A = this chain, B = another copy of it.
Amino acid sequence: MTAQRRLLVGIIQDSPRHLDAAALLEIARKQDPDIDRATVYRTLALLKNRGLIDELDLMHIEGEKHYYEAKTNRDHCHMACFRCGAIMEYASSSFEKLKAEMVKQSGFHIRVVRLEVGGFCKRCQKGVTS
């Protein structure tokens, strides 16, 4: 793996928030001003195929871009608040059970799972009409 790619991987791993391609590029340029958009996209595609990162939509809460995060040991759900935009994560054994059940009942071989929820977080619920 090249230096640029290692840089990108490091940024994704270290970031406290989920980055999209543009944000990732911007951060990477602080350390390597010559890095190009295409390199970012090509690297993301590669990491995705190798299963090193997960791609998220976060309910398209902010346009159609994709967000990325380093693959964790445990799959988790992302809950996106339509009002404040907060992203919360949620992992539980029930999720694992559900996956196991799906595999067992359908014979499907799971490569990637994405569970996303849109709604209103606890704080934002007060005052929401629906």
Q: Which residues of A pack against B, CB within 8 Å? A: 55, 57, 59-60, 64, 77, 79, 81-82, 88, 90, 92, 94-95, 97-98, 101-102, 105-122, 125, 128
Contact = CB atoms under 8 A, between A and B. Distances in A.
A98 to B, nearest CB: 5
Given A119-B112, A122-B107, A98 B92 contact: yes
Count of chain copies: 2
B108 A119 contact: yes
A7 to B, nearest CB: 25
A98 B92 CA distance: 9
Contacts of A101: 92, 94
B102 A90 contact: yes
Contact of A106 (B82, B107, B122): B122
Given A88-B106, A102-B79, A114 B114 contact: yes
Nearest to A108: B79
23 contacts: A79-B102, A79-B108, A79-B110, A81-B108, A92-B98, A92-B101, A92-B102, A94-B94, A94-B98, A95-B98, A106-B122, A107-B121, A107-B122, A108-B120, A109-B120, A110-B118, A110-B119, A112-B118, A113-B116, A113-B117, A113-B118, A114-B117, A115-B115
